Structure 1
Amino acid sequence: MDSAQTPASKGKILVVDDAPDVVKLLSEFLGGSGYEVCGVDRSSQVLSVALAHKPELILLDAHMPKPDGYAVCQQLKQTSELRQIPVIFMSVSEEKWDKVNAFAVGGADYITKPIWFEELLARVNSHLTTYRLQKRLQLQTQRALTASGQSPLLADLQRMLHRQTEILKRQNERLQQEIYEREQAEQALLQEKQKSEQLLLNILPRAIVEQLKQFEGSLAERFDEATILFADIVNFTPLAANVVPLELVNLLNQVFSAFDRLVDQYGLEKIKTIGDAYMVAGGLPIPQADHPEVVMEMAIAMQEVIASFTRDNEEPLQLRIGINTGAVVAGVIGIRKFSYDLWGDAVNIASRMEAQGVPGKIQVTEQTYQKLKHKYEFEPGGEIQVKGRGLMPIYHFVQRKS
């Protein structure tokens, strides 16, 4: 239990919440606004504290350990000395039945968390003013009844109470409208933020997006080992010459969309497409130990998927796939039209594996073969000439080992 007092108190308020931090925060805010505040964080203490301190308003958390706020409010309303004290419920719930229950047990108002302090202050001021007018009216009524006559002051108080009720009604309506407009604006901003972020995530990996939010300029990182896959459609150039451009783009979209779904399925990173070529990497931007196996599974699945697409003569499409494992630098450079890309000798070699590959085959380098030979069967494919590297042995995937 804690309390805060000001020299010229605007009124006494009891704050009840099972979260001590919330009690402390509200007590400091209301205390700083000129109110005398008493706070409790156990619902079992509310009745005794209220009787001792005689607050003029109670801020009550609806959802607390037994007894909850609704039960506490019922106890207050059943106590003659406390039943007229206005109770403002606080809750994270916006369900209409929670609000209905709050008013059913005698609550004067309902405010949702997180609390907007300006809204809270407006409601507190309105309810305190109404409460005090009611107290004055009751006192004057008792005096008038004792004197067996109608007091001019009583009539004035009745008119004042009526005016205050109307003012409170208009304030609440205006406040509700402001809250609604603020919520609509916040929702619209949130939706636009989500759209923007989703568009960015379609271009860059999530880990890179998070880093770009904090840093400006180039963002690159070295990975000691990653596995890179290049794939392209066999005989795509003659196919493109005989197909209407719109149909060709539609075909590529279907093929690459199917590959995109595989990327998501295997948790890999699509790097880019160039014409009919598709580039994927494993082990970055978040390192993973089994990236060679995962990329190989992706390659096998790509071969199965491409077989479902056919040319005009009903022949199935084929892929050339090349895979290499090695060190790369990955990141985003420049300030416009961001793209996540890879650089390094390992990338160039993977590209050569695809360019000099065999239609319908998955061709891998010695480095990748050594990583996968325990799990997959390969057949030697001889050697190929790689610019800047000379002759390099290559292997062709045969099947998974049983």
Structure 2
Amino acid sequence: MLIEALSSRLLKSIGVGICLVDEATLSATFCNPTFATWFPGAEPGIAICDLIEDLEPEILTEANPARALELKTRIKRRTLIIETRVHRTEHEGRTILLLECQNVSRLRETEAMIDSYVAMADRRTRDLEREKAQSEKLLLNIMPRTVYEEYKSFGSVTPRLFEPVSVLMLDFVGFTEMAAAADPTVTVAELNDIFTAFDRIGELHGCERIKTVGDCYMAVAGLPHPNPDHGRSAAQCAVKMMRYLQRRNETHPHHWRARIGIASGSVVGSVVGVQKYIYDVFGPAVNYAARLQSLSGPMEITVCTSMTGELIDDFVLSNSRKEQVQGFGECAVATLTDRKSAAHAA
């Protein structure tokens, strides 16, 4: 008798809801105070499925103790989540279902809060990754990848001598007048389309675009990785650029006419500036290419004749002449065309 009294007192005092249900009638035979607090109206004799709306007879009779049921109950204005496990036992020839209930509302709220924080952290991580990718894309637009990797690792770029390389310098004839006469938005949009095409041509032929200044476009072959055919790469790139402009002019109202200079020599590459930094190259080859570009006529490519041996097999070099080049004195130069264009002209 003492043991029964202690058991009854224990069931009433623990923080776990306990309800004994007769399996045959599905009516409660005992409910401890905790269970009655969570499910108001719980008392011996009440049909348990009527007391708990979410509880169907099939769910109750087929329940497995290893799998917890989550039942909801509302007390005043708050909805509680009650995790329930059903145990089956025999007593005096009857099958009794023991409902063991725990209030997991705070646990579920905590889990929901954690899930929210995790989702927010994941979203923030994705945003940071997207911003990082955009920053990387922007930096790769103004410097070669190897230079970017060095800058990312060390925060600075060591000036480096590249020798030999070929520098391609291009600008457009009459661009100032065109920009003044046409809608600036249209002019800039077309210039962007053309430079984008030039970038693709450069990637195809191993020419690294270094920078654009207004209508001036500069690219280098043989940088940052050595290229023994740098002269041929720069020449192929220049010819494809001219061919692209010729085809474009056939279908567009604005006719873009370029002039190109190509020179070989040494350059020094490095990142200049601190806040508005940019990767740039300097050296005799850059200055020489700029001078040759200024000597070119519309839709003409001018090269120094020191590149003849490298280009003679794949291109036609014509109009060989001596020109007085500022800073370089008298230099031998020639006009370059590809064999296909030369044969077509003939």
Letter of the 2:139 counterpart:
L
User: What TM-score do the two structures reach when normalised by structure 1?
Assistant: 0.56
What amino acid does structure 2 have at the position aligned with 1:262?
I
1:256 aligns with 2:198: no
Matches within 5 A, 1:320-331: 320-331=259-270
- 214-223 vs 320-329, which moves further: 214-223
Letter of the 2:330 partner, please give it: L
| Partner Cα distance (2:186, 2:95) in 1 | 91
**Mapped contact 1:218–1:332 kept (Cα < 8 A):** yes
Equivalent residue, structure 1, for 2:325 = 386
Query: What's the CA shift string for 1:321-360, capped at 9, x where partnerless?
Result: 1101111111212212121111111111111110112322
Counterpart amino acid of residue 373 in structure 1: I
User: Which amino acid in the other structure matches residue 353 of structure 1?
Assistant: L
Letter of the structure 2 residue corresponding to residue 285 of structure 1: P
Q: Which residue of 1 aligns with 2:301?
A: 362
Q: Matches of residues 31-46 of structure 1 in structure 2 within 5 Å? A: none
Q: For the residues of structure 2 that align with 1:176 and 1:248, how far apart are their CA atoms? A: 51
Give the TM-score, by structure 2 length: 0.64
> Is the Cα contact below 8 Å between 1:230 and 1:354 reproduced in 2?
yes
Residues 189 and 399 of structure 1: CA distance in aligned 2, closer, same or farther (over 3 Å):
closer
SS at match of 2:159: strand
In structure 2, which of residues 135, 142, 161 is the aligned counterpart of residue 196 of structure 1? Answer: 135
Which has the higher Rg, Structure 1 or Structure 2?
A: 2
The equivalent of 2:103 in structure 1 is 163
Corresponding residue of 1:301:
240
Q: Which runs of 5+ in 1 are unaligned?
A: 1-82, 87-129
CA distance in 1, matches of 2:107, 2:95: 27
Deviation at 1:382, TM superposition (A): 0.8
Paired positions, count: 262
Alpha-carbon deviation of 1:295?
1.5
Which structure shows the higher helix fraction? 1
- The one-letter code of the counterpart of 1:293 is R
- Please state whether the residue corresponding to 2:281 is helix, strand or coil: strand
For the residues of structure 2 that align with 1:368 and 1:276, how far apart are their CA atoms? 26
Structure 2: which 5+ runs fail to align?
A: 1-63, 68-82
Q: Which has the higher contact order (CA 8 A, sep 6+)?
A: 2
Give 3-state SS (helix, strand or coil) of 2:154's partner.
coil
Q: Report the RMSD for the aligned CA atoms in angstroms.
A: 3.4
The residue correspondences of 1:2-401 to structure 2 (distance < 5 A) are 145=90, 158-159=100-101, 162-163=102-103, 166=105, 169-310=108-249, 316-400=255-339
2:256 counterpart SS class: coil
TM-aligned CA distance change 1:398 to 1:184, over 3 Å: closer
Separation in structure 2 between the aligned mates of residue 319 and residue 84 of structure 1, nearest angstrom: 82
| Change beyond 3 A, Cα 1:171–1:201 | same
